[in-house]
Amino acid sequence: MNHEADGFYNLRSLNHLMKLPLCLLVLAFLPFGLLSAEGPGHRLMIGYGEGLMEVDEKNDIVWHYQDPEIELVHDVWKLENGNVLFSHRFGVREVNAAKETVWDFAVPREMGKQEINACQPLEGGKVMILDCGNQKILEIDRDKNVTLSIDLPDGGKNSHTRYMQARKTPQGTYLISYREKAKILELNSSGETVWQYQLEKTDRPFTAIRLENGNTLVPCITSNRMIEISPAGEITWELNNHDDLGFEIWYPVGAHVLKNGNVVVINSDYHHREGTKNEVQAFEITREKDVIWTLMKSDLERGGKVPVVEAGTKMPSHHLLGIQVLGESFQLK
């Protein structure tokens, strides 16, 4: 990688920058961390290993939620009423701005047997839930009545490693990310497979997002890449560490596709044995692979987020997982 002038600018970026007005060119060569905080930022809702946080356009943490019962927040949604719906290891919860629980769905707290890895707000107040323990997709109403239950093809013995996320598409189908089996399945409401894609053995898909062009965007954790797949099974776009971004892609997990086609991606340090080296915790990238915004480790720590030292790796990690760019389409995350 070409780490020039502490700004990590590659040749593609330099060619692009030379076309900018002088005032913007000066700003572009400010130190990288300052550029990330003062550049084209986003209002974000982020779920991480121990809770939730809202980040403003200056990368400042403006709202923070933690509860001793909460861990492993894979999925998070700020709703139109200002409440936040999120999944955690043993359930799905909705809290208001005052951090009061207004709705709660729980499964037994049995490690290795039970786990919830995704949720999604649906029309009429319903919620879609990925029940990893019972290997089901559920749709439930606010009285916790199950209005739809889909049995999933077997994902393996351990509830933690079966699936990562699930999404209901605008077409009414369901995209399931199989972690250990390294594949994406699309099911209809009867549980029939209508599309599937087998990833490389080294891939571990975190989520699958159905794009407006019919393709599917898949961040793959352990292979450090993100791919876009056509309905015919062709890879039409890929981002990986062969692209000179100026930083390393670690675990690309939660992602949100913006109206302009750019993608905001969590670059997680979860379980990474060199987690202290991961400065870029999230980034926005164009289809041309130009990085135009970053959320830095220093931004989080300036805002008061404390890293957690993992027992396995002995490394401090920030554990970012799920992301929502506020004001953007619910259908593209």
Domain assignment present for residue 201? The answer is: yes
Domain assignment present for residue 148? The answer is: yes
Domain assignment present for residue 73? The answer is: yes
> pLDDT over 90 for what percent of the chain?
79
Q: In which domain, by residue range, is 198 found?
A: 31-332
Q: Is the pLDDT of residue 1 over 60?
A: no
- Total domains, the chain: 1
Domain assignment present for residue 6? The answer is: no
142, amino acid identity: R
DSSP, residue by residue, 163-217:
EEEEEE-TTS-EEEEETTTTEEEEE-TTS-EEEEEE--TT--B---EE-TTS-EE
To the nearest whole number, what is the mean pLDDT of the chain? Answer: 89
> pLDDT over 70 for what percent of the chain?
88
Helix (H, G, I), strand (E, B) or coil at 113: coil
Model confidence band, residue 62 (pLDDT cutoffs 50, 70, 90): very high
Q: Scan for tokens 């490693």, then name that residue.
A: 161
Domain assignment present for residue 320? The answer is: yes
Query: Do residues 178 and 185 touch, judged by C-beta distance below 8 A?
Result: yes
Q: What does the DSSP 8-state code read for residue 306?
A: P
Query: Do residues 187 and 150 touch, judged by C-beta distance below 8 A?
Result: yes
Domain assignment present for residue 215? The answer is: yes
Q: What is the CATH number of the domain that holds 106?
A: 2.130.10.10
Model confidence band, residue 6 (pLDDT cutoffs 50, 70, 90): very low
Tens-place pLDDT, residues 170-221: 999 999 999 999 999 999 999 999 999 999 999 999 999 999 999 999 999 9
Cα–Cα distances (Å) from 85 to 60, 65, 72, in that order, read 21, 12, 14
